[in-house]
């Protein structure tokens, strides 16, 4: 057993910022599933939304967020996040992040994205996430109080409620004590105890066939929290980014919203614009509106994609504002200064997640969730562009403040992982086949446009696959792929059940059977059942429910 003050699962912006804000006073363990820079934060292109000049206002940013969220944003949380925007940007600048400045060096260049009424998105060219991630990651590597465990994946949380033969009288309620973690370099599961455990594992985009997310986005934190007893909310609201590059050799390359923010136009193959027919805000409509418009045009006309055209801008402008997009498209034979960019929607962001309060607390004592893993109430039914990295920063700061205010308490001795009742897998084809099948029917049945029949079919398939994977998990040693597949199936079920519960169309959830929008906006909250606890009690593995 390894012991720390704070265990952070996930190495994106939320996890990195929390680690750096707490490491002065705490002993930190930061787990990264792959390398530290393999995160969705690192892939973020557009920027971070914050009120940074006198032309803008806190109230305007709040209003834009509320409009995009289609009535489901938490007003108090939204105000808190927006009001802390500038100070978190200042903190990043203090850490050494180099944001793009105006040509005359009069200040930082601010761009505008869909749904925003002002230019308020601060950025580092078109690779903001990479600039922020690499800067903070280097500081984490050098910090003496942070132990970085790369190529490690959490298997499950350890809680007092689920650990048998443990004296829980020290705790007033169910409390997280740490996690079991698989070391992918050795294949061994280690036990990590911690006074505070933080889920910062990102979203679940890999549950869909087409996504802008990296391979690590398998909903691990959401699934683990659910199994441990946390509520989840608003999982039906999966944001599909309107403009993912349509190319056989670059299926996850995002064409940032800043291209439309700086004048890019969406067109049909014949060069005709179509967004004016769908919304008066045209190309600067919120993402759900643009994604549905593109999906409608593709299905109506039987075409493979639509096109994003920025070629009317000068070459110098394009290279200056979108250097990475320009370079990557050129590598694929597309000169965006002369020709249109083929694009399609792709799963991009999980707006729902583990329910938390304004400090990142979950339903379980000493367990926090921050970033895309969490449902804080900020995004509602649809995330406003560039509010995601802002949320990571603000809640990383809030959780750090809360953790630092807590008194120290000893971490008890926890039982080791026991593999005495399982064997090596005889064949791995089940994992690969199930993963592929899951992603395909989630794309077809639980995508941009949904029906009751599609959702019912998806849930039926999920239950069949879940039983097969459960049997596999019960009898064989865990692997990275098996852990991810188990989590994806759990998250898929949460998405489908949430979608089935919403009998209206709102924000990112559009149902052909329920096209109306109810007058009252009500979050979808799922309460954890004891189903998985019962399953876990029969496992050969010593999950927190039962030690082998």
- pTM for this prediction: 0.89
Question: What fold characterizes domain 243-345?
Answer: Flavocytochrome C3; Chain A, domain 1 (3.90.700)
How far apart are the two ends of the chain, measured CA to CA in Å? 16
DSSP β-bridge partners for residue 233: 353, 525
Q: How far apart, in whole angstroms, are the C-alpha atoms of residue 352 and residue 447?
A: 15
Answer yes or no: are the C-beta atoms of 120 and 49 closer than 8 Å: yes
Q: How far apart, in whole angstroms, are the C-alpha atoms of residue 447 and residue 442?
A: 7
The set of residues, in sequence order, having a beta carbon less than 8 Å from that of 300 and lying 6+ positions away, is none
Q: How far apart, in whole angstroms, are the C-alpha atoms of residue 305 and residue 316?
A: 27
Answer yes or no: are the C-beta atoms of 508 and 238 closer than 8 Å: yes
Q: How far is CA 422 from the centre of its chain?
A: 32
Alpha-carbon distances of 509 from 223, 352, 502, 527, rounded to whole Å: 21, 12, 8, 20
Find, among 344, 319, 356, 166, the residue nearest to 243 by Cα: 344
Examine the residue annotation and report whether 287 is marked as an active-site residue of this protein. Answer: yes
Query: Does residue 546 sit in helix, strand or coil?
Result: coil
Answer yes or no: are the C-beta atoms of 258 and 322 closer than 8 Å: yes
Give the active site residue among 112, 120, 227, 287: 287
CATH assignment, 2-201+357-404: 3.50.50.60
SS (HEC) of 37-80: CCCHHHHCCCCEECCCCCCCCHHHHHHHHHHHCCCCCCHHHHHH
Q: How far apart, in whole angstroms, are the C-alpha atoms of residue 290 and residue 286?
A: 7
Answer yes or no: are the C-beta atoms of 408 and 5 closer than 8 Å: yes
> 153 phi and psi, to 5 degrees?
-130, 135
Per residue of the chain (548 residues), give pLDDT as tens: 899 999 999 999 999 999 999 999 999 999 999 988 777 776 667 789 999 999 999 999 999 999 999 999 999 999 999 999 999 999 999 999 999 888 777 789 998 887 899 999 999 887 888 899 999 999 999 999 999 999 999 999 999 876 755 555 555 578 999 999 999 999 999 999 999 999 999 999 999 988 888 889 999 999 999 999 999 999 999 999 899 999 988 877 889 888 998 999 999 999 999 999 999 999 988 888 899 899 899 988 989 899 999 999 999 999 998 998 999 999 999 999 999 999 999 999 999 999 999 999 999 999 999 999 999 999 999 999 899 999 999 999 999 999 999 988 877 888 888 887 787 776 678 888 999 999 999 998 999 999 999 999 999 999 999 998 988 888 888 999 999 999 999 999 999 999 999 999 999 999 999 999 999 999 999 998 644 443 443 333 434 333 22
So where are the chain's domains?
2-201+357-404, 243-345
Alpha-carbon distances of 326 from 247, 310, 453, rounded to whole Å: 15, 11, 42
Query: Does residue 480 sit in helix, strand or coil?
Result: helix
């Amino acid at each position: 057993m390894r012991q720390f003050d704070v265990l952070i699962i996930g190495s994106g912006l939320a996890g990195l910022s929390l680690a750096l804000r707490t490491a002065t006073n705490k002993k930190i363990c930061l787990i990264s599933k792959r390398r530290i820079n393999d995160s969705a934060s690192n892939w973020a292109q557009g920027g971070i939304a914050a009120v940074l000049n006198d032309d803008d206002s806190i109230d305007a940013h709040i209003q834009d967020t509320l409009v995009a969220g289609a009535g489901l944003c938490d007003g108090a949380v939204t105000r808190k996040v927006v009001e802390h925007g500038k100070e978190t940007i200042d903190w990043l600048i203090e850490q050494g992040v180099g944001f793009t400045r105006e040509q005359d060096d009069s200040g930082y260049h601010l761009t505008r994205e869909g749904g925003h009424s002002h230019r308020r998105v601060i950025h580092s060219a078109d690779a903001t996430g990479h600039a922020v991630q690499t800067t903070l990651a280097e500081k984490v590597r050098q910090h003496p109080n942070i132990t970085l465990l790369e190529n490690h994946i959490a298997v499950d949380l350890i809680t007092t409620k689920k650990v048998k033969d443990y004296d829980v009288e020290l705790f007033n309620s169910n409390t997280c004590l740490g996690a079991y973690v698989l070391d992918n370099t050795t294949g061994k599961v280690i036990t990590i105890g911690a006074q505070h455990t933080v889920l910062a594992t990102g979203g679940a985009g890999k549950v869909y066939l087409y996504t802008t997310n990296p391979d690590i986005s398998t909903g691990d934190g959401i699934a683990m929290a659910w199994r441990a007893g946390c509520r989840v909310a608003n999982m039906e609201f999966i944001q599909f980014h309107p403009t993912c590059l349509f190319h056989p050799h670059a299926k996850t390359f995002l064409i940032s919203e800043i291209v439309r923010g700086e004048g890019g136009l969406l067109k049909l193959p014949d060069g005709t614009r179509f967004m004016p027919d769908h919304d008066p805000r045209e190309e600067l409509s919120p993402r759900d509106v643009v994604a549905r418009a593109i999906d409608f045009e593709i299905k109506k006309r039987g075409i493979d994609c639509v096109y994003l055209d920025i070629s009317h801008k000068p070459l110098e402008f394009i290279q200056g504002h979108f250097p990475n997009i320009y370079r990557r498209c050129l590598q694929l034979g597309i000169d965006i200064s002369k020709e249109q960019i083929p694009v399609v929607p792709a799963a991009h962001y999980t707006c729902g997640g583990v329910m938390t309060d304004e400090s990142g607390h979950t339903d379980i004592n000493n367990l926090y969730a921050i970033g895309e893993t969490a449902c804080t109430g900020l995004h509602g039914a649809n995330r406003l562009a560039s509010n995601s990295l802002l949320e990571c920063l603000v809640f990383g700061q809030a959780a750090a403040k809360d953790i630092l205010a807590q008194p120290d308490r000893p971490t008890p001795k926890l039982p080791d992982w026991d593999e005495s009742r399982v064997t090596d897998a005889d064949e791995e084809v089940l994992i690969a086949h199930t993963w592929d099948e899951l992603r395909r029917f989630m794309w077809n049945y639980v995508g941009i446009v949904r029906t009751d029949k599609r959702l019912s079919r998806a849930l039926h398939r999920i239950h069949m696959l879940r039983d097969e994977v459960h049997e596999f998990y019960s009898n064989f040693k865990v692997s990275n792929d098996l852990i991810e597949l188990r989590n994806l199936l759990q998250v898929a079920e949460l998405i489908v059940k949430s979608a089935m519960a919403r009998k209206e169309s709102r924000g990112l959830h559009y149902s052909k059977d329920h096209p109306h929008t109810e007058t009252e906006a009500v979050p979808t909250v799922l309460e954890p059942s004891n189903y998985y606890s019962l399953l876990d009690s029969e496992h050969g593995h010593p999950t927190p429910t039962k030690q082998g």
